[in-house]
Amino acid sequence: MTVKRRLVILISGGGSNLQAFINACNNRMLNAEIALVISNKANAYGLERAAQANVPTLIIDHHAFTSREAFDAELLQQIDARQPDLVILAGFMRILTEGFVNHFKGRLINIHPSLLPKYPGLNTHRRALEAGDTEAGVTVHFVTEELDGGPAVIQAKVPIEKGDNEDSLAKRVLTQEHIIYPLAVQWYCEGRLVLENDQSILDGKHLPATGFAYNEINNC
**Domains of the chain in sequence order:** 5-213 (3.40.50.170)
pLDDT band at 101 (very low <50, low <70, confident <90, very high): very high
Close Cβ partners of 191 (under 8 Å, ≥ 6 residues apart): none
Close Cβ partners of 65 (under 8 Å, ≥ 6 residues apart): 71, 74
pLDDT of 218 above 60: no
Residues marked as catalytic: 112
The answer to whether the beta carbons of residues 201 and 106 sit under 8 Å apart is no
What are the counts of helices (DSSP H) followed by strands (DSSP E) for the chain?
6, 11
What integer pLDDT is reported at residue 3 of this predicted model? 85
pLDDT of 122 above 90: yes
Q: With pLDDT > 90 as the criterion, what percentage of the chain qualifies?
A: 95
Distance CA 77, CA 42 (A): 19
Query: What amino acid is encoded at 157 in this protein?
Result: K
pLDDT, tens only, 152-191: 999 999 999 999 999 999 999 999 999 999 999 999 999 9
pLDDT of 54 above 80: yes
What integer pLDDT is reported at residue 147 of this predicted model? 87
What integer pLDDT is reported at residue 217 of this predicted model? 46
Average pLDDT for 82-110: 97
